[in-house]
Structures are given as structure tokens and as C-alpha cells.
């Protein structure tokens, strides 16, 4: 496939989906990742430009997560993948959205009044560099706006 079509089809979707699920299996309980963060760890598929991958990578990760959540495969913690605003992307009130929220709350994650998880505190920093290298993956983008070791305000002393 030389170009991405309007249907946003994933090139070699089975291989891409398997890579997504491999990454998602690494997300520990009590933290979350985003579709975009997972896409950032995967190099663009063959014959896909960097620009097209930037536009569609997170969408393709979403398709992989939709495929696995529909089967509710126990070894892929699909509930730990949310959108870049910290929210659940499934239709509000749907059985799957209710189940995703229930599972995340059971892991100790809290939602704010807008139904979002704060990525600064609950965002996953990704697998370690050795694991990424072994699997031919890239370092993830950080979900935190403030690096963990940086104070939020200046100290007076």
C-alpha cells in the first residue's frame, strides 16, 4: 500500500495489532497509556510516510484496542489505554465504557469530575530501554507535562 486511503486502513493490520498488544501487556496496573503514546513506540509501517503515520498511528492503535476489547482477551489489559485528554474513548454509557471505568477504578485510578484521569500523575512512562531495544521499538513520548523530578512551583529557600 503506497498511500493511506480515506478509510484509514492499517497496513498489515495483524502485525501492527500484535505489536500494539505486546506493548499494552507491559502497562502495569494503576497507570494508563494513550493511543498516541503507544503509536510513538512503533516505527511507521513499510510504505507509510512519517506524516501519514503521525496522522493515523493513534487511530490504528485505537483499532487494535477495539479489536482486543471486543474479545476481552485476559492477557491484554485494554482498559489501561485511554485518549490523550485522559478520558475513555468508548461511547459514554456503553457496556464497554462502563467496564473500562470499573476496571481502572478497581486498579486505584481516580477520575476527575470531567471523567478524566490526570496523565501527569497516572501516565505510564513506558517500558525500560532494554525491553524496547529487544523488541525493536522506540522510546515513548512522555504523558507528563511536568517531569516527575521538577517541582511545580519555585521554592523560596
Reply yes or no on whether the pLDDT at 6 is more than 50: no
Pick the CATH number of 13-127 from 2.60.120.260, 1.10.10.60, 3.30.70.20, 1.10.10.10: 1.10.10.10
Reply yes or no on whether the pLDDT at 51 is more than 60: yes
Helix or strand or coil: residue 2?
Answer: coil
- Can you tell me the distance from the alpha carbon of 144 to that of 140, in angstroms, rounded to the nearest whole number? 12
**In the prediction, which pLDDT does 102 show?**
97
Mean pLDDT of 84-88: 97
Mean pLDDT of 46-66: 93
What does the CA dihedral 98, 102, 103, 104 come to, rounded to 10 degrees?
Answer: 100
**In the prediction, which pLDDT does 3 show?**
43
**In the prediction, which pLDDT does 88 show?**
97
Reference 100, options 85, 120, 115; nearest CA is 115
**For the segment 91-148, what is each residue's pLDDT rounded down to a tens digit?**
999 999 999 999 999 999 999 999 999 999 999 999 999 999 999 999 999 998 865 5
**Who contacts 105 (Cβ-Cβ below 8 Å, separation ≥6)?**
111
Distance of CA 42 to the CA centre of its chain: 12
As a residue count, the chain comes to 157
For cell 498516541, the residue is 36
**In the prediction, which pLDDT does 153 show?**
57
Average pLDDT, the chain: 89
- Can you tell me the distance from the alpha carbon of 80 to that of 16, in angstroms, rounded to the nearest whole number? 18
Output the nine-digit C-alpha cell for 113.
469530575
Quickly state the pLDDT bin for 2 (edges 50, 70, 90): very low
Q: Which residue would you say has higher pLDDT here, 87 or 146?
A: 87
Q: Which helix (H) or strand (E) holds 82?
A: strand 81-82
Rg (CA), the chain: 16
Domain ranges of the chain: 13-127
**In the prediction, which pLDDT does 145 show?**
82
Give percent of the chain above pLDDT 90: 74
Fill in the DSSP letter of residue 33.
E
Amino acid at each position: 500500500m503506497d498511500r493511506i486511503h480515506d478509510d484509514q486502513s492499517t497496513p498489515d493490520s495483524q502485525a501492527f495489532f500484535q505489536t500494539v498488544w505486546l506493548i499494552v501487556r507491559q502497562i502495569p496496573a494503576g497507570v494508563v497509556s494513550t493511543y498516541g503514546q503507544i503509536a510513538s513506540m512503533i516505527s511507521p509501517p513499510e510504505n507509510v510516510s512519517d506524516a501519514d503515520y503521525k496522522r493515523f498511528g493513534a487511530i490504528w492503535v485505537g483499532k487494535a484496542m477495539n479489536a482486543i476489547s471486543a474479545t476481552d482477551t485476559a492477557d491484554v489489559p485494554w482498559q489501561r489505554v485511554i485518549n490523550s485528554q485522559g478520558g475513555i474513548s468508548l461511547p459514554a454509557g456503553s457496556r464497554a465504557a462502563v467496564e473500562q471505568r470499573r476496571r481502572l477504578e478497581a486498579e486505584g485510578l481516580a477520575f476527575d469530575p470531567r471523567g478524566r484521569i490526570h496523565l501527569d500523575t497516572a501516565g505510564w512512562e513506558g517500558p525500560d530501554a532494554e525491553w524496547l531495544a529487544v523488541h525493536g521499538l522506540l522510546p515513548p513520548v512522555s504523558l507528563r507535562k511536568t517531569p516527575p523530578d521538577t517541582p511545580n512551583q519555585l521554592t523560596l529557600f
